[in-house]
Amino acid sequence: MKVENPHRKPFVARGSGVVRCEDCRLPQEVCICEWRFTVPAKCQFWLLTHRYELYKPTNTGRLIMDSIKHTRLFEWSRTEPCEQLLAALADECYAPCLVFPAGEDYRERMIEDPANDPRMPDARIPVFIILDGTWRQARRMFRHSRYLQHLPVIEPRTDRLSRYQLRRSTIDHHLCTAEVAVALLEQVGDQAAADHLEGYFERFNSRYIATRRRWARRELE
């Protein structure tokens, strides 16, 4: 996983002692690299990731990087964004927007229909910037990053409830990062890329859960 502005001191996440595949980061016994390949999409994803998420094995942002071509990952900073991110935001070949739930105090920034919004013209590559962290972290990232305040905002439109079982939100409609990307791909009419990412996510989710149950049984023996 390439981070474009890596944190100086790695965060040691829970489960760091498990022997993992170097590529998919699952325990070696349930490696999913057989299904790990990228496909083209009608949009790009830029993950603005909280430093506490970078090394968590349960993070699903890496699934987008492993599935969708041209996905980029930047480590979030409130006051010192990396030069690569600022350069990408200023590049006129992209039409970036933040992914976040709608709110009254920034209604004028909301994109309702990306296909017909003048802020996302056909001549530019649509980019969805996903704030990759817990819901509490994402809210802070959204509210306190001045360099993002000029960007339009889009809310994923989906009726699905989260199927992510590794870290449960108290609110069912809070999707994990990979599920958000699936919803956005469906929203822009890219069902093939959405299906590929969703299939990879489902394998990740189910196999990780299976290993947790196996470890739990071993502890009881």
Name every residue whose Cβ is closer than 8 Å to that of residue 185 and which is 6 or more positions away in sequence. 41, 42, 43, 68, 191, 193, 194, 197
The number of distinct structural domains making up the chain is: 1
* pLDDT 10s digits, 19-72: 888 888 888 888 999 999 999 999 999 999 999 888 888 889 999 999 999 999
Mean predicted lDDT score pLDDT of the chain:
85
In a domain, 9, yes or no: no
In a domain, 3, yes or no: no
Helix (H) or strand (E) holding 208: helix 191-220
* pLDDT 10s digits, 73-111: 999 999 999 999 999 999 999 999 999 999 999 999 999
Q: In the prediction, which pLDDT does 17 show?
A: 62
In a domain, 17, yes or no: no
In a domain, 72, yes or no: yes
- Among 5-9, 100-104, 187-191, 197-201, which stretch is predicted with the lowest mean pLDDT? 5-9
* pTM: predicted TM-score of the whole model, two decimal places: 0.85
Domain of 82 in residue numbering reads as 41-103+110-158+174-220
% of the chain with per-residue pLDDT over 90: 61
In a domain, 32, yes or no: no
| CA–CA separation, 84 and 212 (whole Å) | 38
- For the purposes of burial, counting CB atoms within 10 Å of the CB of 75, is it exposed (0-12), middle (13-18) or buried (19 or more)? buried
Q: Which amino acid is at 143?
A: R
Calculate mean pLDDT across residues 184-194: 95
In a domain, 16, yes or no: no
In a domain, 54, yes or no: yes
Quick one: how far is CA 85 from the chain centroid? 16
In a domain, 60, yes or no: yes
